[in-house]
A and B are shown apart, each in its own frame.
Chain A
Amino acid sequence: MQTHQYEAVIIGAGGAGLMAALYASRHVKTAVISKLYPTRSHTGTAQGGIGAALGNLEEDRPEWHAFDTVKGGDYLSDQDAALVLAEEAVSAVIELEHLGLPFDRTSEGRISQRRFGGHTSGFGGSPVRRACHAADRTGHMILQTLYQQCIKNDVMFFDEYHVIDLIRSGDTVVGVVAININDGKLHVFHSKAVLFATGGWGKVWEITSNAHTLTGDGNAITYRRGVPMQDMEFFQFHPTGIYKMGILITEGVRGEGGVLINDRGERFMERYAPSIKDLASRDVVSRAIYLELEAGRGIKGRRYVHLDVTPETVNRYLAEAGEDRRIDAEYIETRLPDILDFCRTYLGVDPVKEPMPVQPTAHYGMGGIPTDLDGRAVIDGSRTPLPGLYAAGECACVSVHGANRLGTNSLTDLIVFGRRSGKHMAEYCQGADFVPLPDNPAGEVEAELQRICTASGSRKPYEIRAEMQQIMMKHVGVFRTASGMQEALDTVRRLQEQFKTDLVIDDRGQRFNTDLLEAWELGCLLDIAEVTAASALARQESRGAHSRDDFPKRDDEKWMVHTLAYPTDDGGIRLDHNKPVDMSLAEKDERFKAKERVY
């Protein structure tokens, strides 16, 4: 077994990982390990924009951005984090531009901005142009730009190395174990600090916008080594995924004037969010679509509604709203080229001429590895850091997004907290020594891989995965009930048991054994599904993306706390609700106090 020594090891090469790598590698010996080639990372699929109060087209302020973030998060966001996000977003976006990112431009040559759901001016007023964009491939540009800069700065990459375990020595994190996918050999990375930036876990659900590779590896690995998962009950369903496929249709479509229409031809968001309508935050819009579907107002009675961005519809509503702006087909072609391409390719639908069939799709995990503002993993209610462990991006929970993330804030999160983590990691490594590795650090995970490889049960991974995805979609989706969630939890636990005792895979080779790794990833998904269902079951209120039929109201008396889930020695879960939400802004400013959320 080969052992490598790097002061800083970063796992995952999406926006957060690469941003951290750029900063850490300036000062300490850094390695980036990714199970994919970096440019395959899911950051690249982010479409609409990155939120920052640049004010290039109209007045905007970071405090408004922080307010929208907190309100969008249904007051579960840590307010200190929301303020950092909003304030540093401005310099982060400018920094990206300086690194070469090709943003679209205003006529003055400044970064162009568009409207996005939940982003308003003047503490909840009218929609504001805050999303900085490069057509509808902003994430692609961010990913490419950061990877390019990493190449420029000679950052060391281990591409197609799949990290499968975290090595702890007592209370310190000392490295990770990875498998070189190409030849199946295990490698130990000995380090002073490890940053997880492994992204999300949308593959827990059946209909998702997420990549096949988004299996929550980082969260499962750290969880198994005693690090809690925070706020896992909050998983965002994006309102507009392509019907049945789940492929994301950016909120930017509505930002440009697109509207949601039901079978009766109604713009139904007028009823659910009278003020900003289709640009209400995602949880609100997803619930509205669900309610429309439940009421039988899906198109032709099926499980989808229409997203209409045809110029005639958009212009009609613009006129109705008294706006001067009008759009034409060419405008849509230049602003939303990829969306048009997706619809034409996968649906044979041309959005310039006809509406798109959409349904909510599992999209983003607000929860994750709890961290402080510098990306350090914190492992209890009083925010005690675990030395040497960092997390950033979707797998982390700072928490800025609270119970529901606003569109464009994920990219902002990656850059702002990726940067902070990278900086802090470098400082930490410069002041820390290597702690010796324990004996046989890869032994446990090697045995697990061996077990999967030689298992001779009856259930193939995909069968177990499909069953998990269906039950989670049905019962731990947009609307939830105690009995449904209990059923999901029981099912997931039964599937976990099958995974341990009745599994079988076909490929027993060493080379590029994706059969084995998919099975291993399934183990991660099951752990995350279990924690998600258990956390959701325990939270007896409705807040943000967690919406319960049996507890339809938000309960600020009891539930202004984060959920922390720990693994217990007997294989169970211990839930902890003793971590209060940071309300530091509300202490100084009335407007940040929790109140009923209306859009």
Chain B
Amino acid sequence: MRVTMRIRRFNPEKDQKPYWADYTLDQVEPNDRVLELLHRVKWEQDGTLSFRRSCAHGVCGSDGMRINGVNRLACKVLVNALDSGDHVKIQIEPMLGLHVIKDLIVDMEPFFEHYRSVMPYFVNDDPLPEDGRERLQSPANRAQFDDTTKCILCACCTTSCPSFWANGDYVGPAAIVQAHRFIYDSRDNAAAERLKVLREPDGVWRCRTIFNCTSACPREIEVTRAIAEVKAAMRRGVKHPDPE
């Protein structure tokens, strides 16, 4: 099939403002990944087209972008999931809410700053088990935060959030997901400190339960649910299925 890629281009070294550029590719297979098409454009037609990518199968989180109006990973969207027919048109633009560095590449620093602000790391200063072995955790307690351990920090959720578009100071869904992963880990001891951060005006209360994050997540994390659970933790504390 034939595919026309309509790509939002911008190189601040030479462009005054962003513009749309069209590239047509022939002999595209319906099960080609959008990332492969981007590579074909870059390799065969215009080497100046810039985008991030690495693993190419939806695990590293490099290639988040807006594809046909929705945030996706370019390596996790097949052409046939977008459209069918002899001539398919695909529109690609950078994620919104982060400053565009070049073409589809955005400045991830503010995103990681929010990530770092929620103490996204395990805290437990209690003495280690005396037998020198692992801390114990029941399967049910482990399952409680399983969903949010899947996050790959691709920023698809945060940059799909109208609250984040309006206000970049909002920590955003991804950071809250990270906080959730530790708040609900029965081994962790710093839930109260994280909740303190998230209680601030730019914390969880900016979530308006819009659900764009949940549908944008390429790892199918139940993001809005996780945010609601963090809000619940603020109201009534954290309870684990099994006492430990």
By a beta-carbon cutoff of 8 Å, the part of chain A in contact with chain B is: 36-37, 39-42, 44-45, 91, 94, 97-100, 102-111, 134-135, 137, 140-141, 144-145, 148-149, 151-152, 182, 211-213, 245, 247, 338, 341-342, 345-348, 460-462, 505-507, 509-515
Q: Is the CB of B48 within 8 A of A94?
A: no
A151 touches B136 (CB 8 A): no
Q: Is the Cβ of B152 less than 8 Å from the Cβ of A45?
A: no
Asked if A140 and B152 make an inter-chain contact with CB atoms under 8 angstroms apart, the answer reads yes
Q: How far is the CB of A398 from chain B (nearest CB, A)?
A: 25
Q: What is the CB-to-nearest-CB distance from B31 to chain A, in angstroms, rounded to a whole number?
A: 7
A91, A100, A141 interface centre (most CB from chain B within 10 Å)? A100
Q: Within the complex, which residue of A102, A110, A213 is in contact with B136, where a contact is CB–CB below 8 Å?
A: A110
Q: Are B54 and A213 in contact (CB under 8 A)?
A: yes
CB <8 Å contact, A45 and B43: no
CB pair B13–A109 under 8 Å, yes or no, is no
CA distance A213 to B52 in the complex (A): 10
When distances are taken between beta carbons in the complex, the residues of chain B under 8 Å from A510 are 13
Q: How far is the CA of A135 from the CA of B149 in the complex (A)?
A: 11
Known: A149-B122, A509-B13, A515-B42. A108 touches B60 (CB 8 A): no
B153 touches A462 (CB 8 A): no
A-B pairs with the 7 shortest C-beta distances?
A100-B122, A506-B47, A109-B136, A148-B121, A462-B43, A515-B47, A152-B121
B166 touches A (CB below 8 Å): no
Q: Mark B20-63, 1 if CB is under 8 A from A, else 0.
A: 00000000000101000000001110111011111111111110
- By a CB distance below 8 angstroms, the chain B residues around A91 are 132
- The chain B residue with its CB closest to the CB of A514 is B50
CB<8 Å pairs between A and B, sample of 14 = A37-B108, A39-B60, A40-B55, A45-B60, A94-B133, A102-B145, A103-B142, A109-B138, A110-B136, A148-B120, A148-B121, A461-B43, A507-B48, A515-B42
**For A348, what are the chain B residues with a Cβ–Cβ distance below 8 Å?**
31
A-B contact count (CB 8 A): 157
Asked if B136 and A108 make an inter-chain contact with CB atoms under 8 angstroms apart, the answer reads yes
- Tell whether, in the assembled complex, residue A511 and residue B12 are in contact, meaning their CB atoms are under 8 Å apart: yes
B residues with CB within 8 A of A = 11-14, 31, 33, 42-44, 46-48, 50-62, 76, 78, 101-103, 105, 108, 112, 116, 119-124, 128, 132-139, 142, 145-146, 149-153, 182, 185, 187-188, 220
Contact A45 B57 (CB under 8 A): yes
Instruction: Give Cα distance in the complex from A511 to B107, angstroms.
Output: 13
B residues in contact with A98, CB < 8 Å: 128, 134-135
Decide: A105 and B121 in contact? CB cutoff 8 A: no
Are B59 and A105 in contact, with the CB atoms below 8 A?
Answer: no
**Interface of chain B: mostly helix, strand, loop or mixed:** loop
**Beyond A36-B60, A36-B62, A512-B103, 12 additional pairs, beta carbon < 8 A:** A39-B153, A40-B61, A42-B54, A98-B128, A98-B135, A106-B139, A145-B122, A148-B121, A149-B121, A342-B57, A509-B14, A514-B50
Q: Which residues of B contact A512 (CB under 8 A)?
A: 50, 101-103, 105
Q: Is the CB of A97 within 8 A of B135?
A: yes
B215 to chain A, nearest CB (A): 16
CB-based contact A40/B54 at 8 Å: yes
Chain B residue nearest to A148 in the complex (CB): B121
| Nearest chain A residue, comparing its CB with the CB of B131 | A94
Q: Taking the nearest CB of chain B, how far is it from the CB of A278, in angstroms?
A: 23
Contacts of B139 in A (CB 8 A): 104-107, 109
- Inter-subunit contact A105/B57 (CB<8 Å): no
A392 to B231, CA, bound (A): 42
What A residues does B59 contact at CB under 8 A? 44-45, 137, 140, 338
CA distance A100 to B121 in the complex (A): 8
Distance in Å: Cβ of A479 to nearest Cβ of chain B: 27
Q: Which residues of A contact B101 (CB under 8 A)?
A: 182, 511-512
Expressed in whole angstroms, the Cα–Cα distance for A513 and B182 within the complex equals: 38
A39–B128 CB distance below 8 A: no
| Bound CA–CA A217/B121 (angstroms) | 30
The chain B residue sitting closest to A153, CB to CB, is: B121
CB-nearest residue of chain A to B51: A514
* Bound: A104/B57 CA distance, A: 23
Chain A residue at smallest Cβ distance from B58:
A345
Name the residue on A nearest B55 (C-beta): A211
The answer to whether B78 touches A345, judged by C-beta atoms less than 8 angstroms apart, is yes
- In the complex, which residue of chain A has the Cβ closest to the Cβ of B81? A345
CB-CB < 8 A to A346: which residues of B?
Answer: 31, 33, 57, 78
What residues on A are CB-neighbors of B153 within 8 Å?
Answer: 37, 39
Q: Which chain A residue shows the least CB distance to B45? A: A506
B54/A211 in contact, CB under 8 A: yes
Q: Are A509 and B146 in contact (CB under 8 A)?
A: no
CB neighbours of A505 from chain B (8 A) = 47
Chain B residues lying within 8 Å of A141, measured Cβ to Cβ, are 149
Contact between B120 and A151 (Cβ–Cβ < 8 Å)?
yes
> How many angstroms between the C-alpha atoms of A505 and B50 in the bound complex?
13
A59 to B124, CA, bound (A): 30
Which of A105, A140, A506 has a CB less than 8 Å from the CB of B137?
Answer: A105
Contact A211 B42 (CB under 8 A): no
Q: Which residues of B contact A151 (CB under 8 A)?
A: 116, 120-121
Instruction: Pick from B31, B33, B124 the residue with the most CB of A within 10 Å.
Output: B31
**Which residue of B is nearest A98, CB measured?**
B128
Assembled-state Cα–Cα distance A40/B63 (Å): 10
B187 touches A100 (CB 8 A): yes
Chain A residues with Cβ under 8 A from B119's Cβ?
152
Question: How near does chain A come to B23, taking the closest CB pair, in angstroms?
Answer: 13
CB distance from B131 to the nearest CB of A (A): 10
CB distance from A242 to the nearest CB of B (A): 9
Bound CA–CA A41/B62 (angstroms): 10
Q: Is B122 touching A511 in the complex (CB atoms < 8 A)?
A: no
Find chain A residues with CB under 8 A from B185 CB: 100, 102
Give chain B nearest CB distance to A372 CB in angstroms: 27
In the complex, what distance in Å separates the CA atom of A589 from the CA atom of B122? 42
Give A41 to B139 CA distance when docked, in angstroms.
Answer: 28
Residue on B with the closest CB to A466?
B43
- Minimum C-beta distance from A56 to chain B (A): 9
Whether the pair B61, A99 counts as a contact (CB closer than 8 A) is: no
Chain B residues, CB < 8 A from A36: 54, 60, 62
With a cutoff of 8 Å between Cβ atoms, the chain B residues found around residue A37 in the complex are 62, 108, 112, 153
Q: How far is the CA of A237 from the CA of B241 in the complex (A)?
A: 43
- Bound together, the chains give a CA A377 to CA B89 distance in angstroms of 52
How far apart are A101's CB and chain B's nearest CB, in angstroms?
Answer: 8
Name the one of A107, A108, A137 contacting B150, with C-beta atoms under 8 angstroms.
A137
Chain B positions within 8 Å of A105 at CB level: 136-139, 142
Contact among B43, B116, B136 for A460, CB-based, below 8 A: B43
Determine how close the nearest CB of chain B comes to the CB of A217; give it in whole angstroms. 13
- CB-based contact A212/B53 at 8 Å: yes
B62 to chain A, nearest CB (A): 5
* A111 CB contact (under 8 Å) in B12, B57, B134: B134
Nearest CB to that of A242 among chain B residues?
B57
